[in-house]
A and B are shown apart, each in its own frame.
Chain A
């Protein structure tokens, strides 16, 4: 197959898809073999470089490939299961990795053969992530890692982790951090389920004790880890933005269905509140659709952070109203068994679960309070918070 990157067009992509499907018939090719062949054909993520699953084409053309392959009944890489790898690890490896790292890691990341997790947050470093205390001490050509990470989705499934750790405690907090790739199968890595208010353990705590990481698995320069992490976090917010949603597509659809099917539960007070939330959910849905149209036209705006804030509040209020609407049934819960789900579905399970799970929506991926600061400072241009710790050596920070 040609690897000519000049002038990749929608028609050219359709030809490539036809060729891929001709050479690897969907009906007779094993799922993993097909995904590997798709990656090698440059049709995994067309905006990536040739040889790394892409064709150096505009990102907007990916939808052409996805539509063609969908129509051909081809298997996908189950993107929801490997969201951290696709959304956060991959762009960071692409941006800061060596050729060797990119070649070794990106293909199994994209096919889902190797799951990734993110070792960023710590018990003492949440919103103030740059204050993290996990140490990386140099020992010749390796780094010795000691510390504790938390809120780690998929850690129990992961082969690799993106990790930030402190390489120089004498520098101010943002400057003494480096960025590593951690092998989750190495000695000294211990993953423990972290049970949540829903009863299940969607996240983990990860204890790192004398874990040895070769210097060749560092991303970016020593002390530049915070800058590298910005790439990861920027992509996290893009990933949380979401795709097209039909009317009543989210949490509001669940309560609307209950309302229609259970007239005996209706009261005037609940009716007023339901209509108010329905309007807000519809306005937020339209805002998401407008954002999608802006992105499709190549006009990205700051509205993405608005979406996350709006949906966090709406999910919480709507699920809370649904539990209340259910009355006597709202007193019950479906199942408190400790489970370790591979996928998270905010609208899944019953109203009580949704109510409790939605509490995380205003915390995960940046708390609503921090996001409001970001909107105020970066969108509205308001003066920033006083930062008294900015120039102090990390080791001297009050804690």
Chain B
């Protein structure tokens, strides 16, 4: 087998003018409303996300519906534009449910039958920012099909079971739950009637308990979901549900690379800024080659990371045959670049980089969580072994 290249050679790896405009708008909003000090304060407030910021971003700027076609209430844009939004959100480790609602939940719904009224209605609500959704799977789930369901659906449609480590569930209005029903795998919607669960005790609503977990990443809280005869509506049955979940995981993993890119860019820029200002031994520490070369290497990683992330976004936008390879390359490469950049950011800041008050830790925690999110780099490399015909040894 030779690897397919014809499609990748046509990929547009640049940013269009419209994409640059979108970036400028999102960046300006975040610079104003989501500086590092605000992110830390928000994390300490223990709210699932900043509702005012989310409203501006999702509703007023319309980013929540970028992936949703116009006729379903969205903006009719593509993964390329969503990727630009994620770059900016990564750059500011913004505590908003864009990846979990605007990408994962929306993509899962787009894989259902959008001619069905309940699917269209839900998509419209998410696209317009009237509701926040979450795909009820552990954030660590890798793409490559749908994982076995840990929740079962009864004949009456009520769900029972547990799902751990779900991102974006605290504060969500609706959960999209993969469950094994009487006639097979399905995707179910569970409404959470009392949004804004607060405190550490969790809440019980209609048979679902959303139990907040103490997560490594302070800006993307996780929860365990407990379903006890929770009433649910089936959105897709065995014919579509697996593909819908697989599609969502693939889009999420591919676009997460852009978040990682933006995050790494902030880490490098901040490290350069600090080392130009900080003097020791009578010189700015950024003039020492031992430090300079480390920052130059980070920049090299960013150059390739940007190309890989753009390639994945472009492939997803075109729904091309390249998607699985492009996503696996982007995710295995960008995850590592982001972690490396955040680790270097901490180290090259010296003592201040270890403190709670300096934002470097917010980035490190996001980068390390993102590395595990939607498949570790190793999982993606193993996927590539099959995709590009580099098989593992037998035995």
Contact B296 A372 (CB under 8 A): yes
Q: B303 in the interface, Cβ–Cβ < 8 Å?
A: yes
Interface of A is mostly: helix
Choose the segment among B32-40, B106-114, B194-202, B286-294 that binds chain A (4+ C-beta atoms closer than 8 Å).
B286-294
Partner of B276, one of A289, A373, A375, A381: A381
Known contacts A247-B5, A279-B384, A280-B333, A376 near B295 by CB under 8 Å: yes
Q: A293 in the interface, Cβ–Cβ < 8 Å?
A: yes
Contact A275 B299 (CB under 8 A): no
B296 to chain A, nearest CB (A): 4
Contact B283 A383 (CB under 8 A): yes
Q: A395 in the interface, Cβ–Cβ < 8 Å?
A: no
- CB 8 Å contact bits of B6-36 with A (1 = contact, 0 = none): 0011011110000000000000000000000
Q: A22 in the interface, Cβ–Cβ < 8 Å?
A: no
A40 to chain B, nearest CB (A): 36
Contact B381 A385 (CB under 8 A): no
A352 to chain B, nearest CB (A): 22
Contact B3 A247 (CB under 8 A): yes
Range for the number of chain B residues in contact with chain A = 35 or more
Known contacts A286-B13, A297-B14, A373-B289, A275 near B307 by CB under 8 Å: no
Contact A278 B384 (CB under 8 A): yes
In A243-285, the 8 Å CB interface with B consists of 244, 246-248, 256, 259-260, 263, 266-268, 271-272, 274-276, 278-280, 282-284
Complex-state Cα separation, A384 to B288, whole angstroms: 9
Complex-state Cα separation, A376 to B289, whole angstroms: 9
Choose the segment among B84-92, B212-220, B227-235, B385-393 that binds chain A (4+ C-beta atoms closer than 8 Å).
B385-393
Partner of B287, one of A274, A284, A306, A382: A382
For A287, list chain B residues within 8 Å (CB). Answer: 303-304, 306-308
For A279, list chain B residues within 8 Å (CB). Answer: 329, 332-333, 381, 384
Known contacts A247-B3, A268-B392, A271-B385, A290 near B13 by CB under 8 Å: yes
Contact A276 B381 (CB under 8 A): yes
Contact A283 B329 (CB under 8 A): yes
For B275, list chain A residues within 8 Å (CB). Answer: 382
Complex-state Cα separation, A279 to B5, whole angstroms: 15
For A335, list chain B residues within 8 Å (CB). Answer: none
Q: B394 in the interface, Cβ–Cβ < 8 Å?
A: yes
- CB 8 Å contact bits of B330-363 with A (1 = contact, 0 = none): 0011000000000000000000000000000000
Number of interface residues of A (CB under 8 A): 48
Complex-state Cα separation, A267 to B311, whole angstroms: 31
Contact B388 A386 (CB under 8 A): no
Complex-state Cα separation, A268 to B305, whole angstroms: 27
Q: A303 in the interface, Cβ–Cβ < 8 Å?
A: yes
For B184, list chain A residues within 8 Å (CB). Answer: none
For A294, list chain B residues within 8 Å (CB). Answer: 14
Complex-state Cα separation, A294 to B303, whole angstroms: 13
Known contacts A246-B5, A275-B381, A266 near B304 by CB under 8 Å: no
Q: B130 in the interface, Cβ–Cβ < 8 Å?
A: no
The CB with the most chain B CB atoms within 10 A, among A246, A275, A303, A383, is that of A275
Known contacts A279-B333, A290-B306, A309 near B300 by CB under 8 Å: yes
For A377, list chain B residues within 8 Å (CB). Answer: 292
A26 to chain B, nearest CB (A): 29
B340 to chain A, nearest CB (A): 13
Q: B121 in the interface, Cβ–Cβ < 8 Å?
A: no
B235 to chain A, nearest CB (A): 35
Q: A369 in the interface, Cβ–Cβ < 8 Å?
A: yes
- CB 8 Å contact bits of A369-396 with B (1 = contact, 0 = none): 1001101110111111110000000000
Contact B393 A267 (CB under 8 A): yes
Contact B390 A271 (CB under 8 A): yes
Complex-state Cα separation, A73 to B286, whole angstroms: 54
For A293, list chain B residues within 8 Å (CB). Answer: 12-14
Contact A286 B304 (CB under 8 A): yes
Contact A259 B300 (CB under 8 A): no
Contact B299 A379 (CB under 8 A): yes
Contact A260 B296 (CB under 8 A): no
Contact B293 A310 (CB under 8 A): no
Contact A266 B392 (CB under 8 A): yes
Complex-state Cα separation, A372 to B293, whole angstroms: 6
Complex-state Cα separation, A136 to B150, whole angstroms: 82
For A256, list chain B residues within 8 Å (CB). Answer: 388, 390
- CB 8 Å contact bits of A223-237 with B (1 = contact, 0 = none): 000000000000000
Q: B241 in the interface, Cβ–Cβ < 8 Å?
A: no
For A278, list chain B residues within 8 Å (CB). Answer: 384, 388, 390
Complex-state Cα separation, A202 to B106, whole angstroms: 59
B323 to chain A, nearest CB (A): 15
For B306, list chain A residues within 8 Å (CB). Answer: 287, 290
For B3, list chain A residues within 8 Å (CB). Answer: 247-248
For B385, list chain A residues within 8 Å (CB). Answer: 271, 275
For B182, list chain A residues within 8 Å (CB). Answer: none
Contact B9 A244 (CB under 8 A): yes
Contact B303 A247 (CB under 8 A): no
Contact A260 B303 (CB under 8 A): no
Q: B247 in the interface, Cβ–Cβ < 8 Å?
A: no
B26 to chain A, nearest CB (A): 22
Q: B284 in the interface, Cβ–Cβ < 8 Å?
A: yes
14 additional A-B residue pairs with CB within 8 Å, beyond A247-B8, A268-B393? A244-B9, A259-B390, A280-B304, A289-B11, A293-B14, A306-B300, A306-B303, A306-B304, A310-B304, A372-B296, A380-B295, A380-B299, A382-B276, A382-B295
Footprint of A on B, CB under 8 Å?
3, 5, 8-9, 11-14, 268, 272, 275-276, 283-284, 286-287, 289, 292-293, 295-297, 299-300, 303-308, 310-311, 329, 332-333, 381-382, 384-385, 388-394
- Give me the 8 closest cross-chain CB pairs, A-B, nearest first: A286-B307, A376-B292, A383-B287, A266-B393, A283-B304, A290-B13, A375-B296, A287-B307
Can you sample 19 A-B contacts with CB below 8 Å? A248-B3, A260-B389, A276-B381, A279-B329, A283-B304, A283-B305, A283-B333, A286-B310, A287-B303, A287-B308, A290-B13, A309-B300, A310-B300, A372-B293, A373-B289, A379-B299, A380-B268, A381-B276, A383-B276
